[in-house]
Structure 1
């Protein structure tokens, strides 16, 4: 029985850097006809791969052109549907790794600037046109100070209190929660944004 990847199911995998996870992106190509007959015929394919490598993998499971297959298991830092087209998946990965900002993301040592540039590059290259929406929750210190000044002019000091209540130390950027209030930006926030972007790109 295959166990599909879920980030929350493995604390160990959560601790892996994105570079480690990207270097081990694998999909289990499985012959659907054999699977429906109760026979498990599959092979692991590392991505991105050349067309020759993909065709070789299909031959290994007895799938000729037009034969149906499923991705019955995978190892990746994002979700992969069992009905995903391996050629389209491979093409998306090729596009993704060719983005300059991807280097720091894959190295697992990214900061807020790297994540913002990654989102911008995804949008500018057309890979994910609305990628910048995922970093709208990040607000600069300059913007926070401007908003505070405007609130002060209006005498809305209670609003200032709630708006800045989650900020414990000076920083260049902060995180805006669902209520529109600011708090310290955490590494886990950046991790969540990166995973959401990757999931959306590979969908």
Structure 2
């Protein structure tokens, strides 16, 4: 009986590029025939590049049509937790395009929001998150619970230190910051503190129809 090389052994020998998301696409029918044929594809990409890519791995829309994602990596924290071998390539490209539009500060808030986990259960949610970053507040240069407690008590203007008088000398800023972080479900990320404000997310993408400009997997357009 022919032994098929493991997908993992192939992935280890392959270098992933600098795309927002990289997926290892394997020719399913060749795989079932006992041949492991696949390559890394970086996202975002274009229909033209996908057309050429599929030719390289033998997908011609006639004899070989099916593929699966046997590996996936991302330069963005937390993304791969929501990718599977059956993920929609158009949807992943849509997500990669949206991520590519974020600046450095927005990306840090985005990654922190994934860590917080509010309203994040799917690729659809990750796409919609890119348009809802204003639902998160970032307090810069606050990297621990003491800093957070000190900010809210001494710097935010929420409390009058004059009224507290000498009690401020005995205040446990760290414990207060701990309680605030728990209450807000906030997270310390990259030297800052980020929390969800409680605003309702907008859901412009319904998870069903990827906008045409992000579609890369269309056999009629990409392979013929």
The TM-score normalised by the length of structure 2 is 0.46
The TM-score normalised by the length of structure 1 is 0.50
Q: Which has the higher contact order (CA 8 A, sep 6+)?
A: 2
Larger helix proportion, structure 1 or 2? 1
